[in-house]
Amino acid sequence: MPTFARIRVRALAKINLDLRILNKRPDGYHELRTIFQTVSLADTLEIEFERGRTRIEIKSDLNISGNIIEKAAHRALEATGRTGRVGFVLQKRIPLGGGLGGGSSNAAAVLLGLPALVGKTLPLPKLIELASELGSDVPFFLLGGAALGLGRGTELYPLPEPPARPALIVCPEIHSSTAEAYAALGRKESPSPPAGIVNNFQQLVWASARGLETGGPAFENDFEEVVFRRHPQLKSIQRKLLRQGAAEARMSGSGSSIFGIFEDRALRDRAAEAFRSSQENSPRLRVYPVTMVSRSRYHALWRRQLAAFGKWTLWPPRDQYAK
């Protein structure tokens, strides 16, 4: 076991290409259907480990309290049976409260990176269990690429990869609370999901497996109705992305980021310029040109990031079907 080790990893953001909220479940969570997609916007997380008494230190350019990184570090250490000082330096680029899964991605990065640092590997079922306890979006970042999320969003299945299209993420300084957005939806508690929404979503996924080439926007996000009512500026951003030539423009997660998907980079870059130069909606609009990151690229990134740990570099994490 090493006495000191350090690793630097990139933790990518996600968008929800599609998001349907079904019924409220007896456990208080909502049953959902979503299509997750990793994108190239990323935080950078440095993790160092020194054997000794357990203590977690986080340095960041942002003031983040009750932090999911700290929780993830405790859980990961416990699971490996090691103790020590864990120091983090977080460079935050993914906006907070933007529906881009920044915190969740950071947590998954800890679950993947810290065991490697302490010289232990955690099998996939354990990682999935820890990730689900940390948050509904965390397990997706163990998989990456394009994935179907069911249940709370923690049950995941890889989807055929769509072409790695350029996208533009526009994020105003609005912090949209996930719990409030769910409450505003007012979904009824019921033991089973409404058949109509499931049927509709199923058709979309079957179409996307054929290679989704729609004549216009096909994706949906059930949160848009309630969140746009509260923040009309978001609707204007969506309209502007479509005017600028986006094939699709949707809110991600429970907001407040709006993403547009473009056929080519030139069109996407022109749209970015249009947002930057006008700033008509808000002087504090952040604009991120990104590319979708496929599962194979996501896995290659993690394989590279863990490569320094030699024999501990077992990526993807061990499952019961690995040969």
Least distance in angstroms from the C-beta of 287 to ligand C5P: 26
How far is 223 from 134, CA to CA, in rounded Å?
A: 22
How far is 237 from 249, CA to CA, in rounded Å?
A: 9
- By beta carbon distance, the residue nearest ligand C5P is 136
Interacting residues toward ligand C5P by CB under 6 A:
29-30, 32, 135-137, 152-153, 178-179, 182
How far is 148 from 261, CA to CA, in rounded Å?
A: 19
How far is 100 from 78, CA to CA, in rounded Å?
A: 28
CB nearer ligand C5P, residue 27 or residue 213: 27
Q: How far is CA 153 from the centre of its chain?
A: 11
CB nearer ligand C5P, residue 84 or residue 139: 139
Least distance in angstroms from the C-beta of 179 to ligand C5P: 4
CB nearer ligand C5P, residue 30 or residue 165: 30
How far is 192 from 10, CA to CA, in rounded Å?
A: 38
Least distance in angstroms from the C-beta of 154 to ligand C5P: 8
Closest alpha carbon to 90 in 117, 39, 56: 56
CB nearer ligand C5P, residue 62 or residue 179: 179
User: Which single residue is written with the structure tokens 């190239």?
Assistant: 40
Active site residues per annotation:
14, 137
Least distance in angstroms from the C-beta of 160 to ligand C5P: 24
The tokens describing 80, both together, are 């490996």
CB nearer ligand C5P, residue 18 or residue 237: 18
Three-state secondary structure readout of 112-159: HHHHHHHCCCCCHHHHHHHHHHHCCCCCHHHHCCEEEEECCCCEEEEC
